[in-house]
């Protein structure tokens, strides 16, 4: 048989492959368009609810606001740490304290804390040393010690890379005055460091993360929390067995929200977005962080994570262009790619600007198609490994999102 004859014999099989890929591309383009419509509907719903919630919070007299403890674990120096922590010392709130948690006195972040304590002597503030962690999740181990050191019943758990406005406390604590609500959590806008990859990651925080949360809240209500800010009460924590119930998980934020919801309380999404401040980042660091988060989601919510693959647009648009061109339907491929591009230009404006008020999501919307591709790559990569590096330790994900320490990183 000649080479030409063999090539002709292979042609029908090749055509079938390209047709299958084109069908996948068309289906994915359709599913991502449906997701965008759901996102827009969720945005309109959230904005309506947020306006009412903001008015309700503003109407609460100061005398009705309970004493609050802000729990702030710190882990070394970070860019803009002083600015981030200082925003919590500047709260317009009648009675609150800040409890910082650290492993030991050598933590360099404590120099910043001492500086702020001197600058704001009227703000109640103290430091709790946890010592070396005895649980897989070191932050949760520290939080357990911090909660035991305060007599207040209302808690704000917040990461050290979060910056807020002066009206943060009185806005986020308002839902917890309803005894049926056991936890509130906040959306966040990414604030990038001056590096390209940090900017791309921040764009994903403001748009991709927010989109998924809004749609989940619209479809089934909040059943999880977001790590930068968690607002809860002592009774809710005690009902789930204390903060230690999340000690074996990497995504302790997701787990605490899910446990509080399962315990019969309502979990709500606050109307008040906060700033999540990023550090300068290389491609390797950004990819590793995103892959770790995606892998955690795969183990925590396997079916939801699998379905999220159909919410990306650009991979299907590019696949459609290649497959349609191979089948000599070039303009069909161009149309599929154009639909994907428009999809991913609308989303950052509708969500990043329309909800969390991130100006970068508006004027950098042209970058979001690239962020969409990057997100798809890390989503696919999450299925190829269960090990990850976290604060100098090698861990492995196990069933349900639990983590198991493997060995010290070299």
**Helices 283-300 and 368-381 sit at what angle, rounded to 10 degrees?**
60
What is the rounded CA–CA span in Å between residue 87 and residue 274? 11
**Helix then strand then coil, % of the chain, to nearest 5:** 55, 15, 25
d(CA 368, CA 7): 41
Categorise residue 123: left if φ over 0, alpha if ψ from -120 to 50, beta otherwise: beta
Query: How many residues comprise the chain?
Result: 410
- Give the pLDDT of residue 408: 52
**In the block, which residue shows the tokens 């008020």?**
357
What is the rounded CA–CA span in Å between residue 179 and residue 337?
A: 50
Where exactly are the structural domains of the chain? 3-44+299-408, 61-283
pLDDT of residue 231: 98
**Buried b vs exposed e over 117-142: b needs ≥16 C-beta within 10 Å?**
beeeeebebebbebeebebbbbbbbb
- State both tokens at 131: 């010592």
Phi, psi (rounded to 5 degrees) for 74: -125, 145
Q: What is the fold of 61-283?
A: Spore Coat Polysaccharide Biosynthesis Protein SpsA; Chain A (3.90.550)
- Token output for 272: 């008040």
Residues 161/78, Cβ–Cβ less than 8 Å? yes
DSSP state letters, 124-165: EEEEEE--S--SS-HHHHHHHHHHHT---SEEEEE-TTEE--
Q: Cα torsion for 26, 29, 34, 37, to the nearest 10°? A: -140
pLDDT value of residue 407: 62
Q: Count of alpha carbons within 13 Å of 297, Cβ hemisphere only?
A: 24
Q: Which of 118, 100, 103, 109 is nearest to 79 (CA)?
A: 109
Q: Helix, strand, or coil here: 233?
A: strand
Strands 181-185 and 229-233: antiparallel
- Model pTM score: 0.93
Nearest to 46 by CA among 253, 159, 183, 186: 186
pLDDT, mean of each 10-residue run, the chain (410 residues): 46 85 97 98 98 97 97 92 98 98 95 97 97 92 97 97 98 98 98 94 96 97 97 98 96 96 98 95 89 90 93 98 93 97 98 97 97 96 85 80 70
The pLDDT value given to residue 6: 46
Chain centre to alpha carbon of residue 318 = 27
> What's the chain's Rg over C-alpha atoms?
23
**DSSP letter for each residue of 10-59:** HHHHHHHHHHHHHHHHHHHHHHHHHHHHHHHHHHHHHHHHHHHHHHHHHT
Integer Cα distance of 327 and 410 in angstroms: 51
pLDDT for 392 equals 67
Interior angle at CA 385, CA 380 and CA 389, nearest 5: 115
CB burial readout 361-395, b (16+ within 10 A) else e: beebbebbbebbbbbbebbeebeeeeebebeebeb
């Amino acid at each position: 048989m000649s080479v030409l004859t063999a090539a002709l014999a292979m042609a029908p099989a090749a055509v079938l492959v390209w047709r299958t890929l084109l069908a996948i591309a068309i289906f994915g383009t359709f599913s991502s368009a449906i997701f965008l419509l759901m996102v827009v509907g969720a945005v309109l719903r959230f904005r309506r609810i947020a306006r009412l919630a903001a008015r309700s919070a503003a109407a609460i007299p100061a005398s009705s606001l309970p004493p609050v403890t802000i729990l702030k674990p710190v882990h070394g120096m970070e860019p803009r740490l002083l600015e981030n922590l200082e925003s919590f010392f500047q709260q317009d709130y009648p009675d609150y304290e800040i409890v910082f948690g650290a492993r030991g006195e050598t933590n360099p972040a404590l120099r910043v804390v001492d500086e702020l304590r001197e600058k704001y002597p009227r703000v109640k503030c103290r430091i709790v040393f946890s010592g070396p962690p005895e649980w897989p999740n070191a932050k949760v181990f520290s939080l357990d010690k911090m909660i035991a050191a305060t007599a207040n019943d209302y808690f704000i758990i917040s990461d050290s890379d979060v910056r807020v406005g002066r009206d943060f406390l009185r806005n986020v604590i308002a839902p917890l005055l309803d005894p049926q609500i056991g936890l509130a959590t906040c959306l966040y806008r990414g604030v990038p460091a001056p590096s390209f990859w940090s900017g791309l990651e921040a764009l994903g925080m403001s748009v991709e993360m927010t989109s998924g949360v809004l749609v989940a809240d619209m479809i089934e209500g909040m059943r999880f929390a977001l790590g930068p800010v968690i607002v809860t009460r002592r009774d809710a924590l005690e009902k789930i067995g204390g903060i230690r119930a999340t000690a074996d998980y990497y995504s302790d934020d997701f787990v605490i929200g899910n446990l509080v919801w399962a315990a019969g309380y309502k979990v709500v999404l606050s109307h008040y977005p906060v700033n999540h401040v990023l550090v300068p980042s290389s491609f390797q660091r950004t990819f590793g962080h995103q892959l770790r988060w995606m892998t955690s989601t795969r183990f925590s919510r396997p079916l939801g994570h699998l379905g999220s693959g159909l919410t990306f647009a650009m991979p299907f648009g590019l696949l459609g262009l290649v497959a349609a061109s191979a089948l000599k339907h070039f303009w069909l491929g161009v149309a599929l790619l154009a639909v994907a591009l428009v999809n991913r230009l609308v989303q950052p404006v509708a969500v990043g600007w329309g909800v969390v008020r991130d100006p970068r999501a508006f004027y950098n919307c042209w970058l979001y198609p690239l962020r969409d591709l990057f997100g798809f790559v890390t989503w696919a990569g999450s299925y190829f490994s269960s090990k990850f590096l976290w604060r100098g330790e090698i861990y492995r994900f196990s069933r349900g999102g639990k983590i198991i320490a493997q060995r010290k990183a070299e």
